[in-house]
């Protein structure tokens, strides 16, 4: 048996088509969704992400601006910039690209963003609302993962979902969203004992641990739907996930590739959140 590949590229493309129409409707009402991205310093990975975000905005018709700030900027100056954007009614979404330089407190920066413009879904108010099931901006990667699962036609309700990883960006929020869809959720992590026994019980396996190809086919029962969130670069320069794609493809029912799986969905969900913010 060979797994069906869940193409994040294809799913993202069809969602972006839908978003384009929503933006056109908003523009007819005189509203142009606007996203401001703040990039501090010269981290090459961050620059490449920000480029992808700007390109995505252009594609669906969102007005985007990138504010480049020096690595040496003070926390006060960065907070003042966020406050300026909070007060600008043409800006519907604000995103500060992480990681930030060491001398800046990430929490202080995230907390300074107006929750109504927090299209990354990282502000404690949005995280809290998501936790208790209220309407909130959902964090982009977890939201994208749920969309990918749903678009395979798989019903999440009643399934056993195992999430490996407990980060605030992916592991914890995706667990909450799977619970919201009525899955039974087990969270595993680097200190989990008998990991293999736990992952073999999964109907849906979400892997976000940041270790190249650590999940091999003996961790996966036949017919499992596998979502690989990891992006790791091998010494050869090849990009791979946290899952051994070749091996696991022989037992899983569905699997996301790396690259081209979860990645394209993250930016697409950011665009979706920005449009929602403009509607509100």
Q: Is 165 one of the annotated binding-site residues?
A: yes
Take residue 81 and report the two structure tokens written for it.
Answer: 């910039």
Q: What CA–CA distance (Å, rounded) separates 173 from 113?
A: 19
Sign of the Cα pseudo-torsion (251, 252, 255, 258, in order): negative
Residue from 118, 120, 228, 242 carrying the catalytic annotation = 120
User: Which contiguous run of DSSP H or E holds residue 94?
Assistant: strand 93-96
Contact between residue 256 and residue 8 where contact means Cβ atoms under 8 Å apart: yes
Residue from 4, 29, 55, 97 carrying the catalytic annotation = 97
Place of tokens 């499992």: 224
Does the active-site annotation cover 4? no
Q: Is 231 one of the annotated binding-site residues?
A: yes
Q: Is 166 one of the annotated binding-site residues?
A: yes
Find the angle CA(264)-CA(205)-CA(53) to the nearest 5 degrees. Answer: 15
Does the active-site annotation cover 120? yes
Which residue intervals of 151-244 are DSSP H helices?
171-180, 195-199
Q: What CA–CA distance (Å, rounded) separates 32 from 23?
A: 7
Residue from 53, 159, 172, 272 carrying the catalytic annotation = 53
In a 3-state reduction of DSSP, which class is residue 224? Answer: coil
Q: Is 50 one of the annotated binding-site residues?
A: no
Residue 33's nearest CA partner among 220, 226, 196, 270 is 270
Residue 141's nearest CA partner among 49, 32, 204, 22 is 49
Does the active-site annotation cover 97? yes
Annotation: binding site for NADP(+): 165-167, 231
Active site positions, annotated: 53, 97, 120
Known binding-site residue numbers = 165-167, 231
């Amino acid at each position: 048996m060979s797994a069906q590949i869940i193409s994040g590229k294809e799913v993202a493309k069809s969602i972006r088509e839908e978003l384009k129409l929503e933006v056109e409707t908003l523009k007819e009402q005189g509203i142009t969704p606007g996203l401001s991205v703040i990039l501090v310093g010269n981290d090459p990975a961050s620059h490449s992400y920000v480029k992808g975000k700007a390109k995505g905005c252009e594609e669906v018709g969102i007005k985007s601006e990138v504010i480049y700030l020096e690595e040496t900027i003070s926390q006060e100056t960065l907070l003042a910039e966020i406050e300026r954007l909070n007060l600008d009614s043409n800006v519907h979404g604000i995103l500060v690209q992480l990681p930030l330089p060491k001398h800046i407190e990430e929490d202080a920066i995230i907390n300074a963003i107006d929750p109504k413009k927090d299209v990354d879904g990282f502000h404690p108010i949005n995280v809290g609302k998501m936790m208790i099931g209220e309407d909130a901006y959902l964090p982009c990667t977890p939201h994208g993962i749920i969309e990918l699962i749903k678009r395979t036609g798989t019903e999440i309700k009643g399934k056993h979902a195992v999430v490996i990883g407990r980060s605030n960006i992916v592991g914890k929020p995706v667990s909450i969203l799977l619970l919201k869809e009525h899955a039974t959720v087990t969270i595993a992590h680097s200190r989990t004992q008998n990991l293999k026994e736990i992952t073999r019980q999964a109907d849906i396996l979400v892997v976000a641990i940041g270790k190249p190809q650590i999940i091999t086919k003996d961790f996966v029962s036949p017919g499992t739907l596998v979502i690989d969130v990891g992006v790791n670069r091998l010494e050869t320069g090849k990009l791979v996930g946290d899952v051994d794609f070749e091996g696991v493809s022989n037992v899983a029912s569905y699997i996301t590739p790396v690259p081209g799986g979860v990645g394209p969905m993250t930016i697409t969900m950011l665009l979706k959140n920005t449009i929602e913010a403009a509607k509100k």
